[in-house]
Amino acid sequence: MSFFFVDLRPMNRSATHIVTEFILLGFPSCWKIQIFLFSLFLVIYVLTLLENGAIIYAVRCNPLLHTPMYFLLGNFAFLEIWYVSSTVPNMLVNILSKTKAISFSGCFLQFYFFFSLGTTECLFLAVMAYDRYLAICHPLQYPAIMTGRFCGKLVSFCWLIGFLGYPIPIFYISQLPFCGPNIIDHFLCDMDPLMALSCAPAPITERIFYTQSSLVLFFTSMYILRSYILLLTAVFQVPSAAGRRKAFSTCGSHLVVVSLFYGTVMVMYVSPTYGIPTLLQKILTLVYSVMTPLFNPLIYTLRNKDMKLALRNVLFGMRIRQNS
C-alpha cells in the first residue's frame, strides 16, 4: 500500500487547473459556535480514547477477562480508537483553521483509512455475533472451537480484509481529473462529495465502489441477523429465568451496538443520498463515525457485570498506586 504516499494528483494535463488541495467546510458558523464545536468534539474524542483504552487495559490485566469474548472486545476497542482517530483530529484542526484546507494526498489517505476501518468494524461485529452464537447455541463445543489461536486468526482476517479491499478502487478514484472547484461541504473526505468534484464522470468506478460497500454491509448484517435469530431461539429454550437474563445481558449490548452502527451507515451508503440534506448527511456520519465509538464502551460496560467489576478494579488499583 506504499503507493498512497506518492503524489496522487490526477494525470489530466489538458485541464486548465489541477486541484492540489480540498477545502473541507465542516460545520460553517460564527466563531463562538466554532469554539463550542471544537470543545465538544475534543471532549468526545478524549472520552472515547479513555473509555476504549480502559477496556483494553482491563482485558489485558484482568485474568478473568482472558476469554474469547473479551479478547474480541479488547480488539474491537483498539479498532474504535483508530476509527475515531481517522476523522476527529483533522476535524479539530479544520475547525480552528482559517483556510480549512486538506492536501490532495491527505484527503485520499483519510478516505482510505476511514472506509478500511469502517469495513473492519463491520467484520468485527459479525465475528462477535459468531462468538455469542457459539457460546449460547453450542456451549459444549465452544471451548474447542474458540481457541486463542482461532480468535487470533479471526481478528487478523478482519484487519486484512478491511485494509486490502479498498486500495485499488480508491487509487482509481484519485486518478480522476479534479480541475476545480475544490470545496467539499463535509467534515471529511467521503465518496459522494469527491465524485461530485470530479471533472469527468466515472460511473463504472463509482458503481464498483458502492457495490463493494453494499456487499460488505449486506452480508455482515445478514449474518449478524441470522446469528441473533438462532441465538434468541436458543435463549427462549433455556429453562431458568436467570439463564435467560444472563444470555440477554451478554447479547443485548452487542445488538444495541450493531443497530446503532448499521442503521446510520446503511442510510448513507446503501440508500440514495441525493435527496438527503447535506446537514443531515453530516449528522448521520457523526453518529456512526464519532458517537458510536463513544457509546460502545458505555453500552458494553453498563450491561456487563464482569466488565464493570474489572474496570472498577483497574480504577481502584490506580488510586492505590497514586496514594502510596
DSSP letters spanning 11-41: --TTSS----EEEE--S---HHHHHHHHHHH
The three grid cell numbers given for residue 199, joined into one nine-digit string: 471533472
238 burial (CB, 10 Å; 0-12 / 13-18 / 19+) is middle
Q: What is the pLDDT of residue 5?
A: 41
pLDDT tens for 235-262 read 777 677 766 676 666 677 777 778 888 8
pTM: 0.86
CA gap 219, 205 in Å, rounded? 21
Q: What is the pLDDT of residue 246?
A: 65
Amino acid letter for position 136: I
Amino acid letter for position 127: V
Q: What is the pLDDT of residue 161?
A: 95
Q: Are 178 and 197 a contacting pair, CB within 8 Å?
A: yes
Q: DSSP letter at 176?
A: S
| Preceding amide of 181 cis, omega within 30 | yes
CA gap 312, 239 in Å, rounded? 32
155 burial (CB, 10 Å; 0-12 / 13-18 / 19+) is buried
| Residues of the chain falling short of pLDDT 70 | 1-17, 238, 242-244, 246-250, 271-275, 302-303, 315-324
What is the CB neighbour count within 10 angstroms for residue 164? Answer: 12
**Domain residue spans of the chain:** 20-307
Q: What is the pLDDT of residue 299?
A: 81
Torsion, Cα of 178, 182, 185, 188 (10° steps)? 70
Q: Are 101 and 22 a contacting pair, CB within 8 Å?
A: yes
Q: Which residues contact 28 (CB under 8 A, 6 or more apart)?
A: none
Q: What is the pLDDT of residue 243?
A: 64
CA gap 207, 210 in Å, rounded? 5
The three grid cell numbers given for residue 50, joined into one nine-digit string: 479513555
Task: Tell me the H-state helices in the chain.
Answer: 31-61, 68-85, 88-96, 104-137, 142-145, 148-164, 167-174, 191-197, 203-235, 241-269, 278-286, 292-302, 305-323
Q: What is the pLDDT of residue 303?
A: 67
pLDDT tens for 156-204 read 999 999 999 899 999 999 988 888 789 999 999 998 889 889 888 888 8
Task: Tell the CATH superfamily of the 20-307 domain.
Answer: Rhodopsin 7-helix transmembrane proteins (1.20.1070.10)
Q: Are 191 and 209 a contacting pair, CB within 8 Å?
A: yes
Q: Which residues contact 267 (CB under 8 A, 6 or more apart)?
A: 273, 276, 284
CA gap 125, 253 in Å, rounded? 12
- How many Cα atoms are found within 13 Å in the side-chain-facing hemisphere of 6? 7
